[in-house]
Structure 1
Amino acid sequence: MGMEMFEKARPYIAMTSLQFGYAGMAILTKISLNNGMSHYVLVVYRHIVATLVLAPFAFFIERKIRPKITFQIFCQIFALGLLGPVLDQNFYYLGLKFTSPTFGGAMNNLVPATTFVIALIFRMERVKIREIRSQAKIVGTLVCVSGAMLMTLYRGAILPMPWSSHDHPHSSNAATSHDSNSDMIKGCICLIIATLAWAALFVLQASVLKKYSAQLSLATLICLMGSLQSIAITLAVERRPSAWVIGFDMNLLTAVYSGVVGSGIAYYVQGLCMRIKGPVFATAFVPLTMIISAIMDSIILHQNIYLGSVIGGVVIVIGLYGFLWGKAKDTKLTTFTSSEMLPTSHHEKNTMESIETLGVPVESNITFNMKTQPSTV
């Protein structure tokens, strides 16, 4: 009984633990960026580490099922490397530098809704205005965007925390306040671009996986392609040779931790949980990152938590779960519709199993049964 409960709880434990990993990565990244590490160089090292970690597993586990790479698939993998490792990570790190891990975690909550909008544009999602599930997805998307705008435009009072100092003198220097607001706007724009790139990555990756089904190999190739592209961009933008030098310090820890946890382990855990529970389940844990980051951000980095960030974060979470509720209804409807097409009698189930053992797909079996079924008319 105990083992059975543990097996059922394992996906929940895994996804919750992963959010702690993401929050820790955001804190380490913020510290390294504040210490002067180039975010371009960090992206390069992170994905080199991720490639080295994923490659052995992809080579041995998927060596018999790995499809051939056509020119079209290569171009799509090239685009995935550009969207994820290059655009998403560089703009995310730059936005993190101007804002905080809490703000970055809150912006990540926009990814499911943004992905829905992009998929809707490319007709990968269908919306029927009169159906409640479609209304929930649309309203949830709008609420998420409203929460993000609220976090950007309104800061409000500083919320006192038990572990932080209650002495928050207001600076009389107007220039300092202006620079702070300017940095916040820059950071918000960078995080929005990162969110769009990440959402586009999901949409394109879903399309590529239909032709290249080896998920672990695809993740490795994305990291490899992103590493090569990031090296080229960093060589063109970062002219300081010293920026590439890292020792046994926080910068090295950030690069290794981000590559192993943020990319390597994350790909495996998310893929495993999505295979068991579906993508909606995995996405539902994203708001935990914002909450964990806010607490760790306040304790470790002594960052202030503003009322506007809390209200905006709550609005984003409400919108997110409204959107996910609509997606869950879509998933249930799809599952129910598919189950209606499957044979239900004992004889037909035995026939399916026998034909499957011969290597014939289930769909062929269903067609066979439909054609050979005697007419009752």
Structure 2
Amino acid sequence: MEGFVRFLGLAKPYFGVLFMQFGSAGMAILAKFALNKGMSQYVFVFYRMIIATLIIAPFAFIFDRKVRTKMTISLVFKIVMLGLLEPVIDLNLYFTGMKYTTATFAVAMCNVLPAFAFLMAWACRLEKVNILKRGSQAKILGTIVTVGGAMIMTFIRGPMLNLPWTKPNHPSASSAASTNHQSQIKGSLMIAIGCICQSAFIILQAITLKLYPAELSLTALICLVATIGGCLVALVMERGNPSAWALHFDSQLLSVVYAGVICSGVTYYIQGMVMQIKGPVFVTAFNPLSMIFVAIMSSFILSEIMLLGRIIGAVTIITGLYLVLWGKRKDQLSVKSDSDNIAHDKQQTTEAGEALKTVQSSQEFVSLDVAKVETN
């Protein structure tokens, strides 16, 4: 029983990130379906965040009473930036970029996120890098390869892969095939900028959790700020278009509720917990799983056309990603080995000191006996 409990404790971060990737894959499909039906991406983001706030806030009020710390101006500024970086700026850019491309492409482009997160963690000294060590060299090389894969996906289309279940005459398939190259680049740039904002969000969340270790309360505050920011963006972008705010009991409502509960409220909370155990780079390391899920589901459900260039770029991104992971694991083992050596040296030094004290005590005892004999 103790072994099983220990296993659950070790596996909890992995279960957490797997849940996040499953949730992200489902959100990409549902969101693309809603956007294809004409829903405004700006209104979608606002509705998503207000639902997340309403769901998380009661739990934060009940369970975080004893762990909330005092608010400071610096902490409020960090929370406001968290509420704007990922929930407002990143999501609006991400869904706009998805409109110009496809769900598979948008999720695949997000695989550059671990590379950006690694570079920012390195700059903020949350990730240790020693260029002379093989692990750190692998992390740097993996980052370069990952960005190269994203460039391949953006600029190289390649031949179209006619899979048996895709229908060339399907509306979404034909629109994906006929999207001009300029729109592809525009969408790619939006998604890439969004990934930079999300990376900054993850790093800032890791820093903020050290000052405000109440995950539920922090999640609720982030969602509240994002609701206000998202509302302002939607009002500006959809001014004079009241029909954009209409929400019916159909797939659009399902996508909004799913995204708000699973992909904002629950994901931010799980992300914070895993980050405190494994760090920010680990949280972003499993993004390729989401891409694989989305590629399969969107090919079947949305009949999206697969291009050879995107597949090559995706494989390149995954290769670079796992170079980063291998390097991170290598560095962790190296740090552990160095710590064990230091502890061993300290133990030896302590033992030598104790032996020296014993010898000195023995010498003092002998000297005392000799002095007594001479006195007698």
Do both proteins adopt the same fold according to a TM-score greater than 0.5, normalized to the shorter chain?
yes
1:82 matches 2:84: yes
CA distance in 1, matches of 2:332, 2:50: 36
> What amino acid maps onto 1:41 in structure 2?
V
CA distance in 1, matches of 2:341, 2:211: 27
Structure 1, residues 293-331: CA drift from partner, whole Å, max 9, x if none?
001111010010111111100000000010112222333
Q: Runs of 5+ in structure 2 lacking a partner?
A: 171-176, 358-376
Q: Is the CA contact 1:212–1:218 (under 8 Å) kept in the aligned structure 2?
A: yes
> What amino acid maps onto 2:233 in structure 1?
I
Per the alignment, in what secondary structure is the counterpart of residue 110 of structure 1?
helix
Aligned to 2:286: 285
CA distance in 1, matches of 2:54, 2:24: 20
> What amino acid maps onto 1:80 in structure 2?
L
Aligned to 2:201: 201
Structure 1, residues 70-112: CA drift from partner, whole Å, max 9, x if none?
1111011111111011111100111111111111111221111
Q: Is the CA contact 2:90–2:197 (under 8 Å) kept in the aligned structure 1?
A: yes
1:116 matches 2:118: yes
Q: Which moved more, 1:228-237 or 1:285-294?
A: 228-237
Aligned to 2:225: 225
Number of corresponding residues:
345
Aligned to 2:182: 182
Amino-acid identity (%): 47
Aligned to 2:163: 161
> What amino acid maps onto 2:139 in structure 1?
K
Shift of 1:376: 4.7
Aligned to 1:267: 268
CA distance in 2, matches of 1:229, 1:167: 40
CA distance in 2, matches of 1:18, 1:84: 15
> What amino acid maps onto 1:154 in structure 2?
I
Q: Is the CA contact 2:205–2:272 (under 8 Å) kept in the aligned structure 1?
A: no
Query: How has the CA–CA distance of structure 1 residues 77 and 162 changed in structure 2, closer, same or farther, with 3 Å as cutoff?
Result: same
Aligned to 2:46: 44
> What amino acid maps onto 2:326 in structure 1?
W
Give matches, 1:281-320, under 5 Å. 281-320=282-321
> What amino acid maps onto 2:311 in structure 1?
V
> What amino acid maps onto 1:16 in structure 2?
L
1:127 matches 2:129: yes
Aligned to 2:325: 324
CA distance in 1, matches of 2:292, 2:83: 29
Structure 1, residues 258-281: CA drift from partner, whole Å, max 9, x if none?
011111222344445555666555
Shift of 1:332: 3.7
Aligned to 1:16: 18
Aligned to 1:365: none
CA distance in 1, matches of 2:197, 2:281: 20
Q: Is the CA contact 2:206–2:272 (under 8 Å) kept in the aligned structure 1?
A: no
Give matches, 1:366-377, under 5 Å. 376=356
Aligned to 1:363: none
CA distance in 1, matches of 2:11, 2:117: 28
- The equivalent position to 1:139 in structure 2, one of 141, 145, 166, is 141
Query: How has the CA–CA distance of structure 1 residues 2 and 108 changed in structure 2, closer, same or farther, with 3 Å as cutoff?
Result: farther
1:59 matches 2:61: yes
Per the alignment, in what secondary structure is the counterpart of residue 318 of structure 1?
helix
Q: Which moved more, 1:186-195 or 1:278-287?
A: 278-287
Give matches, 1:22-37, under 5 Å. 22-37=24-39
Query: How has the CA–CA distance of structure 1 residues 210 and 338 changed in structure 2, closer, same or farther, with 3 Å as cutoff?
Result: farther
CA distance in 2, matches of 1:48, 1:325: 39
Query: How has the CA–CA distance of structure 1 residues 219 and 336 changed in structure 2, closer, same or farther, with 3 Å as cutoff?
Result: farther
Q: Is the CA contact 1:23–1:101 (under 8 Å) kept in the aligned structure 2?
A: no
Per the alignment, in what secondary structure is the counterpart of residue 180 of structure 2?
helix
CA distance in 2, matches of 1:214, 1:13: 21
Query: How has the CA–CA distance of structure 1 residues 335 and 209 changed in structure 2, closer, same or farther, with 3 Å as cutoff?
Result: farther
Aligned to 1:360: none
Q: Which moved more, 1:192-201 or 1:276-285?
A: 276-285
CA distance in 2, matches of 1:209, 1:277: 13
Shift of 1:16: 3.2
CA distance in 1, matches of 2:200, 2:128: 17
CA distance in 2, matches of 1:277, 1:79: 23
CA distance in 2, matches of 1:14, 1:125: 21
Q: Is the CA contact 1:26–1:101 (under 8 Å) kept in the aligned structure 2?
A: yes
Aligned to 2:369: none
Aligned to 2:370: none
Which structure dedicates a bigger proportion of its chain to helix? 2
Q: Which moved more, 1:292-301 or 1:29-38?
A: 29-38
Structure 1, residues 144-202: CA drift from partner, whole Å, max 9, x if none?
0000000001111122323224789xxxxxxx95x521211111011011001001111
Per the alignment, in what secondary structure is the counterpart of residue 127 of structure 1?
coil
> What amino acid maps onto 2:101 in structure 1?
T
Q: Runs of 5+ in structure 1 lacking a partner?
A: 169-175, 349-369
Superposed CA RMSD: 3.1
